[in-house]
Amino acid sequence: MSSKDKKKWRSTTILTVRHGGKVAIGGDGQVTHGDTVMKSDTRKIRKILDGQIVCGFAGSTADAFSLLERFEVKARDYPGNMPRAATELARDWRTDRVLRKLEALIIVVNTEHSLLITGQGDVVVPSDGVIGIGSGGNYATAAARALVRHSDLSASEIVKNSLGIASEIDIYTNNNIIVEELECTN
């Protein structure tokens, strides 16, 4: 079987929205292998540091858990400085020979910051408070931006509705949605 013919694992859509004094992050529960849904209720949103930081991941689950564990260590090493912890993880992820092969994207949020961390060494801060990743990330992001601009919905409601819209478009996203929310300090 050529690499082109191999079935690909696909999992999830994660979205975060910072709006109305709150930050919400949510994800669907679907994991797909090729054209088969393997699981519909996977939890891809995790709280760390006693709920001070909420993380969401897309990509390989095992890779994401490895990266989340490393991020939690960095967050403990740089207490109160989530951007520094994210930058240190991104640097390690990009330069370490083993970590470099991990395939996942991570969104981390706390009361002050929303960040996307990638394996290319990027730490992205959204200009509008909206980040979407995963197979339906672009659909969810577009829906969230429209709802932020043209509705009175809360951050949690925007995340839930936007992920629902993504699930209607993207076959790798379902409507088994989990949303967590934190109060913003800025």
Report whether 167 belongs to an annotated binding site: yes
Cα dihedral 136→138→140→144 (10° resolution): 170
Q: Of 21, 68, 10, 17, which is closest to residue 180 (Cα–Cα)?
A: 17
Report whether 95 belongs to an annotated binding site: no
The residues with which 11 forms a beta bridge, in sequence order, are: 31
Cα dihedral 25→159→104→171 (10° resolution): 150
Report whether 42 belongs to an annotated binding site: no
Look up 12 and say whether it is catalytic: yes
Query: Considering 12, 16, 32, 87, which one is annotated as catalytic?
Result: 12
- Cα gap 186→179, rounded to integer Å: 21
Residues with Cβ within 8 Å of 26's Cβ and at least 6 positions away in sequence, in order, are 14, 15, 16, 45, 56, 156, 159, 160, 163, 177, 178, 179, 180
What residues are designated binding site for Na(+)? 167, 170, 173
What residues are designated binding site? 167, 170, 173
Catalytically active residues, by annotation: 12
